[in-house]
Every structure is written in structure tokens, then in C-alpha cells.
A and B are shown apart, each in its own frame.
Chain A
């Protein structure tokens, strides 16, 4: 039982390049989330999904797209990377419910030059 995994762990991009971050969970969770964490800012929600085939915008969605074609996977895409997207990206998953725990992946450190 791996929990939540993220690929890749580290990546350096040049401005304008594209990439996809992959999140996978093996806990059969309905809800999945993408957050970004910047120094002094806490975690901010980019996009989320409440089930296979559904996605929605969070607080800071601009410049990102997502897809949830399979229940266990949640992909985050950057079509044209910008230096402002340099951050640590965390994926999380949970079951529905107000007090249900969100489980986080180990994070992806992305640098955009």
C-alpha cells in the first residue's frame, strides 16, 4: 500500500516548456487535490476533483490544467511554464466527509528558469 505517490520528484524547466505531473493513489479515494506551496504562503489549492471524470478550479488555477481519467490518477499540466510557477507541488487524496483525513504525496519540486 503505497498511499499517494507523485512523479517526478524534481524537475527543472525553461520558460515556455510544458510538463505533466502525475499523482497516483491506491486507497480508492474519491477526492483528489493539487496544492502548491511557496515560502511564507502555506499550501494553496490549484485544482481538485470529486470523482473520476470531474475537475474544478481552486484558488490559483491560472496556468494549470488537470485531468482525472481514472479514479486513482490525477494529472496536473503546465502548458507554458513561467518562473512564477516555481514551487513545490503536493497532491492529496481523501474520502468525502468533513473530518476525513487528507493524505499527501511526497511533493514535486519544480524550478522554472
Chain B
């Protein structure tokens, strides 16, 4: 079983739609959680961190469920420019390396 799992998609949604992605993680020692956005053939860029209390940034809302070991990303009022691959990433607190473990990504295609 992969340490971080995501539905690869693609999710094809019309402009203005609301779309949600989930990501499950298997390491209960995971301490911090992130959503990265990756455009085609580009480097990943941080979209948002995911805190225990959940957090919101404009049209984007991220939630963490430690009991069920998953994080979610909700995108409201989808724009064409939201089309990208969304990677979830977790960081274990019990190692010194502070490296990220990534899911394989969920592809979103927003259509006009």
C-alpha cells in the first residue's frame, strides 16, 4: 500500500463547479500536511498547508481528518486556470529529514 494515496482522476468539471479531492495517508506519525499544485511539465508549487482546524484561502478549503487519516481539498467556483494536477504531501515528524511524501496527484480539467 502506498504511503499517500490519491485518486488520479481526471476530474472533468465545468467552469463554476465545486470539486473536492481526498487524499489518504498511512503513516499515523505524519505531522504536517500540504496541497501542492503542479502545472504540466512544471515544478510543484505550494497551494496551501492543511492545519488541524482546517483552513480556507479564497475559493480553496482544506481539511484534515486525523482519525480517518485523510486530507481534503475543496475548490469552489472552478476557473479554467484551476486546471492542473493537485498533489497532496505529508511530512512525518519523527524523522529529522523533514522531507515530503507525495501522492501521485489528481488531475483536474475545468472545461468552458
Contact = CB atoms under 8 A, between A and B. Distances in A.
Interface of A: 31, 33, 35, 40-45, 48, 50, 56, 58, 90, 94, 96-102, 104-107
Given A105-B43, A107-B43, A94 B102 contact: no
Task: Give the interface SS of chain B, mostly helix, strand, loop or mixed.
Answer: loop
Nearest to A101: B46
B80 interface: no
Contacts of B103: 42
Contacts, number: 56
Q: Which 4 A-B pairs have the closest CB atoms?
A: A104-B43, A42-B104, A42-B102, A98-B32
Contacts of A96: 98
A97 B96 CA distance: 10
A41 B45 CA distance: 18
B43 to A, nearest CB: 4
